[in-house]
Amino acid sequence: MKKLLTLTLALLTLAACTQERTKPLDIIPMPLSTQLQSSNFEFDKESKLAIEATEATVNNLTSYLATTSLSLKADNNAQDNRLALKIREKVDGISSPEGYVMTTDAKGVNIEATSEAGLFYGVQTVLQFVDNEGGVPYGRIVDEPRFAYRGMMLDVSRHFFDKDFVLKQIDALARYKMNRLHLHLTDAAGWRIEIKKYPRLTQLGAWRDHPVWKVWWNSGRKYAEEGTPEAHGGYYTQDDIREIVAYAAERQITIIPEIEMPAHSEEALTAYPEISCTHEPYKQADFCVGNEKTFEFLENVLSEIIELFPSEYIHIGGDEAGKASWKSCPLCQKRMKEEGLKDVNELQSYLIHRIEKFVNSKGRQIIGWDEILDGGLAPNATVMSWRGTEGGLKAASMGHKAIMSPGTHCYLDQYQDAPHTLPEAIGGYLPLKKVYSYNPIPDTLNCEQAKLIYGVQGNLWAEYIPTPEHMEMMIYPRILAIAEVGWSAVEVKNFDCFRNRALTAVDYLKNKGYNPFDLANETGNRPEADAPVNHLAIGKKVTYARPYFKGYAAGGDTTLVDGHRGAWNNNDGVWQGFIKGGVDVTIDLGESKAVKSIGADFMQICNPEIFMPAEVIVSISEDNENFEELTHINHEIVRDDALTFKNFAWKGKAKGRYIRYVARPGQYGGWLFTDEIVVE
């Protein structure tokens, strides 16, 4: 009887162990393939760590695990109750060096990979299971990333964030299998890295006369000498950088430095005005490309940067160059003549090509924002596409690698919820769902071009982010969506599932001392955008007396009568933008109809020069020639820091076939944005 009972218990235990898991996974990013059971292996105080790898990998992984919730005793002879990590020449089911296969049973967890990175990412999956569930489910996981490059950019120039802050973010990025941290180290607001050969870059260029960027930007933009009472800012010493780079490397993250050129360089040109076109401090934002001293300076700076950062890429910026002074600078004009350059775009391209040649001579590659395409792309350059996706697609079509980082989906400086519920941001509306929806490879690319999409990156510019707490709120949880976009196969992605996992991640991050956005209490989209609106003008012909701006065309000629209302963001593909004269459209209802209301919403965000109209005129006509004015609204525009919406409408009784809606800008000029002309 006792033997029968023992056999029965064993069979019941086996049945429980082999029961298929039904509980949703709580892992970010979602693994490629899982075959899991309902039972878990749980580590305890006697659990061991066994590693089959090189001595360096053993040391790195042992050291890292000692900092986590899974600090285990090393014992390579342990056969059960263990975490076994093994480097293999080949692992069935994976093709990426960052991939891994994990199998779990009653003896413990076994992870195999072809590299240290693969083992590390397998460990992250184990850690998330342990932290979220207490144990690791029996079964098998086969996992590898969709893209080789999965990054985040931190702007540490506009507001300086110290070494400890950067190290803290590296820990979180590593947990979610991100592998690049791009540091925007130089810009007008502050030079943030010690350069031994040019001490004035940090003695003067790293300090300014006000701590908050917005106030500094609007009140003279003066720098301050280090150590003086008015000096606000900071920089990383070269020892700080070495520590950051080493800490990141142990967590499989490469630090990519960005040294801006030729623009966004006011701080450098004030510290060393002789390399600007006018040789005067506080006068220039662009390096003088005609001056050989400029290249001497840039090459010396980059030599120190390359010595500090072992990354494959050195980011050289390349965006938003004004180039105005180059047209009148004798040295720049001389350079253009000698090199046969037809315009200032080609002069910028000359600089990019020359810098690339220097960087290549040091065994590295350059990467730059998509403006480096202007005037001709350097032979080996990689393009980081931020002005939409066009730059990346063009680079791929030319045979160059591209990293996709469009502002529409990857600029984390935008509001992630209703603006009135959050601290001031640069504007826009980029909720978690929209970040998660991004697919870096559009259908327009062929197979060979698609292979050149190297990865994806989330960017966090810090003009309106003065504190570490605010910075973390803007990062998390949206960077987790970028992590899953970069790692997970499209087939395994599901937003509702991801949001639930993100809620768990937010709780984890809070417990670890981070300050993520309170996703559980998200307000959500602008109510008007939640559902289509039906009205008399839906689908009717719209004639534009003044064209909309092609860059903000939304749905084109049908936008204002398609029944869709805009969200909090002017670039959401629903709001239509007008500049230089405003809105002047006529809607043909197709036949004479009685109307009682005609109105349209406008938004105002003053920082990007988007304003309410100062004047709105609504008219109606039977013949499209003789119009009766229904209302003439004058509006006083008040410049402020808020994101606001206002409906400009006529209400009453009228009849006609043609409706003309005119909205004119006021004293500030700028943009007008409207989403729908609702006729009832």
Active site residues: 187, 264, 320
Q: Which helix (H) or strand (E) holds 151?
A: strand 149-155
Write the single-letter amino acid at 238.
Q
Q: Quick one: tokens of 19?
A: 């029961």
Distance CA(582)–CA(440), nearest Å, equals 34
Distance CA(200)–CA(268), nearest Å, equals 8
Write the single-letter amino acid at 400.
H
Selection from 592, 586, 676, 599 nearest residue 633 by Cα: 599
Q: Quick one: tokens of 342?
A: 């037809």
CA dihedral 87, 89, 91, 94 (to 10 degrees): 100
DSSP string, 349-394: HHHHHHHHHHHHHTT-EEEEEGGGGTT---TT-EEEE-SSSHHHHH
CA 437 to chain centre: 13
Selection from 75, 60, 317, 87 nearest residue 174 by Cα: 60
Q: Is the dihedral of CA 517, 521, 524, 526 positive or negative?
A: negative
Instruction: Map residue 9 onto helix, strand or coil.
Output: helix
Distance CA(410)–CA(314), nearest Å, equals 21
Distance CA(145)–CA(94), nearest Å, equals 10
Selection from 99, 296, 300 nearest residue 199 by Cα: 300
> Which DSSP category does 156 fall into?
-
Q: What are the two backbone dihedrals, phi and then psi, of residue 429, each rounded to the nearest 5 degrees?
A: -150, 110
Q: Which helix (H) or strand (E) holds 269?
A: helix 266-271
Instruction: Yes or no: say if 426 and 465 are a contact pair by the CB < 8 Å rule.
Output: no
Instruction: Yes or no: say if 422 and 405 are a contact pair by the CB < 8 Å rule.
Output: no
CB atoms within 10 A of CB 539: 10
Please work out, in degrees rounded to the nearest 5, the angle formed at the alpha carbon of residue 64 by the alpha carbons of 58 and 66: 100
Specify the length of the chain in residues. Answer: 680
Instruction: Map residue 160 onto helix, strand or coil.
Output: coil
Task: Say whether the peptide bond before residue 477 is cis (omega within 30 degrees of 0).
Answer: yes
Q: Quick one: tokens of 101?
A: 């296969």
Instruction: Map residue 463 onto helix, strand or coil.
Output: coil
- Ramachandran category for residue 121: left, alpha or beta (phi over 0 → left; psi -120 to 50 → alpha): alpha
Distance CA(261)–CA(245), nearest Å, equals 23
Instruction: Yes or no: say if 102 and 31 are a contact pair by the CB < 8 Å rule.
Output: no
Q: Which helix (H) or strand (E) holds 317?
A: strand 313-317
108-113, strands of its sheet edge to edge: 33-41, 136-143, 100-105, 108-113, 82-87, 48-52, 73-74
Selection from 399, 388, 481 nearest residue 432 by Cα: 481
Distance CA(599)–CA(567), nearest Å, equals 17
